[in-house]
Amino acid sequence: MEIKLSDHFTYPRLLRFVLPSILTLFFTTIYSIVDGIFVSNFVGKTAFAAVNFVMPILMFLASVGVMMGAGGSALVAKLLGEQNKVKANQVFSMIVYTMFAFGIIVSIAISFFMENIVCFLGANGELLTQATHYGRIAVLGGTAFIFQHIFYCFFIVAERPKLSFIVTVVAGVTNILLDLVFIVILKWGISGAAFATVIGQMVGGIVPLIFFLLPNKTPLSLVKPCFDGSALLTTSTNGISELVSNIAMSVVSMLYNYQLIKFAGDTGVAAYGAIMYTSYIFSTIYMGYSFGRAPIVSYHYGASNTEELKNLFRKDLVIVIFAGFLLTATSEILAYPLAYIFGSYDLNLFEMIRHGIYIYSFAYLLMGVNYAGSSFFTALNNGLVSGLISFFRTFLFEILAVLTLPIAFGVDGIWASTVVAEVASFIFTAACLVRYRKKYGYY
């Protein structure tokens, strides 16, 4: 039986509905990590560092897709809850076509200035050459990369999260197989990794576009758009937290790379890339859960069903708190094998990864509450509060931590920066949830 947004959600029903969303992001992360493993083991440490240097630039494009997908899906789900299906499809279509034009223009601009951007971020010599080369190829899939994140959110609103997972698996398998062919068999080096990524992104972004262009049995389809500046502004403000979070992640990643170059050289940058890959695996569980249940909250908010909002809020807290303890313990256990996968060929790199994971793992204890809290306000169409939580969590707190902690603790201070930022963010998120509980009636 298909689960509808309008249903009452028990723990089993809620977890069944969000599971495909979690698996979608999880698998997306896995095939990104496999990409890194291929580069690290078959092309070299400098190439691996080059990929990590470019990743924040590519994540900027993803951040725009996440913003428009999360913010737009909150608005569209609310409209569906208000039984305004025609308007919902017009807004959905406007978002997709607007982002198509945006993706083309921005991807071209980034490609043109790639060398200047990478140089500005601190790369030089062979690292600069390889990062520029990889980036100019990888950005060719920029528009598809944006679409991949937009449609991930809208597949959930369309009550087809399983279809999103299937598309992601196909895109991921395509990327992995092409990594094997291009890097290992054909020995194209870092170019092969870039082309494999682009083709995988094309599959992940274009297939959903075709699905929504064709007649389907979901609540959503692409129709003739009607430009609505107010709806576009609402979409942007709704999703501002996701934009802030992703841009901040890119900026903070650049800052981490800058600090690590200073404190630990290329080995530190490579170690950070490995730790971030493993972090993405765990954080995507929180992200997938938050994105998966957000349209449910938006729908019941639009339908003025406060009892279901209370039900969802209570279940949120139980699920993310339990997950926090589970993921922290799991990360500690897996620190050695994960370090071996990424750094077995270099003892210093291996030890730095292993030690960094041990410290970083404690961030998972509170990360889920912060993700879910920000996402909850996005779903309630309160982009301001959601954006403030994301800004403080991923930008202000973490930047302050990564700039100050290394002064006293060296590289260990860099690994602990996220832990400190999550603790500070938890206090702020809890205060916001208490402050707005009566206004929205979720507690």
161-179 vs 142-157: helix axis angle to the nearest 10? 150
- Which of 89-98, 122-131, 204-213 bottoms out in mean pLDDT, i.e. has the lowest? 122-131
Q: What's the number of domains the chain is made of?
A: 1
Average of per-residue pLDDT across 3-27? 86
- Which of 184-188, 193-197, 412-416 bottoms out in mean pLDDT, i.e. has the lowest? 412-416
Residue-level pLDDT at 242: 67
Per the domain annotation, does 4 fall within a domain?
A: no
- Which of 92-96, 108-112, 394-398 bottoms out in mean pLDDT, i.e. has the lowest? 394-398
What phi-psi label fits residue 268: left (phi over 0), alpha (psi between -120 and 50 degrees) or beta?
alpha
Winning range, highest mean pLDDT, from 68-72, 234-238, 424-428: 424-428
Residue-level pLDDT at 246: 66
Residue 159 domain boundaries: 11-440
- Which of 151-160, 306-315, 352-361 bottoms out in mean pLDDT, i.e. has the lowest? 352-361
Average of per-residue pLDDT across 202-225? 90
Residue-level pLDDT at 362: 92
> Which residue did the predictor score with more confidence, 149 or 57?
149
Residue 202 has pLDDT above 90, yes or no: yes
Q: What is the pLDDT of residues 251-293, one digit of tens each?
A: 777 777 777 777 776 677 777 777 777 787 788 889 889 888 8
Residue 95 has pLDDT above 70, yes or no: yes
Confidence bin at 351 (pLDDT 50/70/90): confident
> Exposed, middle or buried by CB within 10 Å (0-12, 13-18, 19+), for 58?
buried
Tokens of 178: 């092409």
Tokens of 224: 């003739």
- Which of 112-116, 143-147, 407-411 bottoms out in mean pLDDT, i.e. has the lowest? 407-411
Average of per-residue pLDDT across 69-90? 89
Cα atoms in the 13 Å half-sphere on the side-chain side of 348: 8
The rounded mean pLDDT for the chain is 85
pTM score: 0.76
**Distance from C-alpha of 260 to C-alpha of 267, rounded to nearest angstrom:** 8
> Which residue did the predictor score with more confidence, 409 or 310?
310
Per the domain annotation, does 1 fall within a domain?
A: no
Q: What is the CA radius of gyration of the chain?
A: 21
Residue-level pLDDT at 426: 95
3-state secondary structure the chain: CCCCCCCCCCHHHHHHHHHHHHHHHHHHHHHHHHHHHHHHHHCCHHHHHHHHHHHHHHHHHHHHHHHHHHHHHHHHHHHHHCCCHHHHHHHHHHHHHHHHHHHHHHHHHHHHCHHHHHHHCCCCHHHHHHHHHHHHHHHHHHHHHHHHHHHHHHHHHCCCHHHHHHHHHHHHHHHHHHHHHHHHHCCCCHHHHHHHHHHHHHHHHHHHHHHHHCCCCCCCCCCCCCCCHHHHHHHHHHCHHHHHHHHHHHHHHHHHHHHHHHHHHHHHHHHHHHHHHHHHHHHHHHHHHHHHHHHHHHHHHHCCCHHHHHHHHHHHHHHHHHHHHHHHHHHHHHHHHHHHHHHCCCHHHHHHHHHHHHHHHHHHHHHHHHHHHHHHHHHCCCHHHHHHHHHHHHHHHHHHHHHHHHHHHCHHHHHHHHHHHHHHHHHHHHHHHHHCHHHHCCC
